[in-house]
Amino acid sequence: MNDLQQRMETHIGRLSEFTATPGNGTTRLTYSKEDLQARLYIKEKMQEYGLQVREDGIGNIFGRLEGTLTGAPSVLIGSHFDSVPNGGSYDGPAGVVAGLEVAALFKENNLTPKYPLEVIALVEEEGARFEGGLMGSRGITGVLNEEDFKNLTDKDGIKTIEAMAEIGLDSSLPKKRDPKTMKAYLELHIEQGPILEGKGIPIGLVKAIVGLVQLEVTVEGKAGHAGTMPMEHRSDALVAAAKMIARLPELALNEGEGSVITTGRLNVFPNGSNVIPNKVVFTVDLRSGKEEHILSMIENVKELVDSYNDSGIKTSVAHQLYMAPKAMDSDIISLLKEKCSELDVPYCSLNSGAGHDAMVFSDVTAAAMLFIPSRDGVSHCPEEWSDSKDIATAVQILFEAAKALTEAE
Ligand code: GLV
Ligand code: MN
Ligand code: MN
């Protein structure tokens, strides 16, 4: 194992210790104690690698290597460091530590770039605490405005700014960043699917990222005693919600072309075993590579939910996130291909079925992504694993690409 690979193992190993569910995967919610521990580790490494460290008003972390051109835009490299509940050690952190090690290679080689290089570690990509997801990048690009950011609450009613204050973050710092300060955004990520492993290829170059939408459905019925209320007199919110959810897969299958729909969260109120539920709130995550399918699935979900409205049941649908499918920057893809060939690294092109911060950055700057294989294609679970050798290979490619991008006009 070479030094670079060893450092990857150390970073990933250390970050994986910062979990609220030790022994059962990584649970690192944004602005939690584990967020603070991971944040301190990332900032310490940034300092050690000679970067100027700062945080913004959402808690995103930036480590900057100044360039020689005054006022020039930065080449950003990184990913997110939050996780889903009981997730793995690689989704997000692999890209953050890759960014750190690209900066370490600049330092080791005594390189001062023309354009600044910024390692970036983003918050709340998963939306596991505040819903919606992609919060760090949406804040930087202004897609999420100050007002909407402040109004976000977690499941316990804690506001973003209160949670930030709890771990000593300053929410009054600037959030939105002028697009003119960004030259490019590069992100390494695990594939989270089986394609690269199946082909035995270490690097995937992402052509496009699927469009994704998150809806929240609320179903209201009437509470009552589970023993005394006759069946025909009930307005059971959970029974109505279950019928809706059971029909969602067919909406995706009818749409075709790889369209998918998932309900991943369902909250039942009051959640007592002998109480008829009076309210259910559940999420609908829908995705497709084609925007026309996204739009048609949204309409179909709304129609389905609406059809359960009757005298006893009231339903509503709220939009939490809408992201159209996004193509990655063709010039940077060509550059990455060139660097793979020079380094003799096999690669292939693929699309991403997962959402990524790169899709948000792609609206304001040239964005591109590299994937590495995921063992058994699994992710968002404790079994998630990728080879540190592949991360090290990706770092070499990113280093070469970052050198080119921080030099060229
Ligand atoms: C992020 O992992 C997403 O695709 O939801
Ligand atoms: Mn994820
Ligand atoms: Mn991710």
Q: Whole-angstrom Cα distance, residue 147 to residue 90? A: 32
Question: pLDDT (tens digit, 9 = 90+) per residue, 75-124?
Answer: 999 999 999 999 999 999 999 999 999 999 999 999 999 999 999 999 99
User: Where do you find CATH 3.40.630.10 in the chain?
Assistant: 3-210+325-405
Q: Which ligand neighbours the alpha carbon of 353 most closely?
A: 1
Query: Beta strands of 141-192 (E only): which ranges?
Result: 182-190
What's the pLDDT tens digit per position in 215-254? 999 999 999 999 999 999 999 999 999 999 999 999 999 9
End-to-end CA distance of the chain: 37
Q: Which ligand is nearest to the CA of 92?
A: 3
Q: How far is the CA of 297 from the centre of ligand 3 (A)?
A: 24
| pTM recorded for the entire structure | 0.92
Predicted local confidence at residue 91, as pLDDT: 98
The confidence band for 1, taking pLDDT boundaries of 50, 70 and 90, is confident
Please give the pLDDT value at position 131: 83
**Nearest protein CA to atom 1 of ligand 1, as residue:** 355
Looking at the chain, the domain(s) classified CATH 3.30.70.360 span 212-323
Digit-coded pLDDT (tens) for 330-385: 999 999 999 999 999 999 999 999 999 999 999 999 999 999 999 999 999 999 99
Cα of 125 from ligand 1 centre, angstroms: 8
**Percent of the chain residues topping a pLDDT of 90:** 98
Best mutation site among 210, 215, 356 for ligand 1 pocket (most ligand atoms within 8 Å of CB): 356
Beta bridge mates, 75:
117, 184
| Alpha-carbon gap, residue 145 to 245, rounded angstroms | 32
User: Strands 366-372, 61-65: parallel, antiparallel or unpaired by DSSP?
Assistant: unpaired
Phi, psi of 352 (to 5 degrees): -100, 125
Query: Using 50, 70 and 90 to split pLDDT, how confident is the model at 148?
Result: very high
Taking 90 as the threshold, does the pLDDT of residue 389 lie above it? yes
Cβ atoms within 10 Å of 180's Cβ, excluding its own? 11
What distances in angstroms separate CA 403 from CA 184, 290, 334, 393, 397, one per listed residue?
12, 34, 15, 16, 10
Options 3.40.630.10, 3.40.50.970, 3.30.870.10, 1.10.287.70; CATH for 3-210+325-405 is: 3.40.630.10
Q: Are 326 and 364 in contact (CB under 8 A)?
A: no
Q: For the segment 155-175, what is each residue's pLDDT rounded down to a tens digit? A: 999 999 999 999 999 999 999
Question: Is pLDDT above 90 for 12?
Answer: yes
The answer to whether residues 62 and 81 touch, using CB atoms and an 8 Å cutoff, is no
> Residue 241 CB: number of other CB atoms within 10 A?
26
Residues with CB under 6 A from ligand 1: 126, 133, 354-355
Say whether pLDDT at 132 is over 90: no
Give residue 191's identity as a one-letter amino acid code.
Answer: E
pLDDT at 146: 96
Ligand 1: which atom is nearest the Cα of residue 126? 1
Top CATH class, 212-323: alpha beta
Query: Cα–Cα distance between 21 and 331 in angstroms, integer?
Result: 42
Q: How far apart are CA 149 and CA 171, in angstroms?
A: 10
How much distance in Å is there from the Cα of 308 to the middle of ligand 2?
A: 32
Contacts with 174 (C-beta within 8 Å, 6 or more apart), sequence order: 56, 57
Nearest to 384 by CA among 84, 100, 161, 141: 84
Flag whether pLDDT at 58 surpasses 80: yes
409 pLDDT more than 80? no
Instruction: Determine the distance separating the centroid of ligand 1 and the alpha carbon of 29, expressed in angstroms.
Output: 14
CB 102 within 8 A of CB 401: no
- Distance, in Å, from the CA atom of 173 to the CA atom of 54, rounded to the nearest integer, reads 10
Cα(385)–Cα(402) distance, rounded to whole angstroms?
26
Cα 36 from Cα 28, distance rounded (Å): 10
Q: How confident is the model at residue 179 (pLDDT cuts 50, 70, 90)?
A: very high
pLDDT at 206 over 80: yes
Amino acid in the structure at residue 225: H
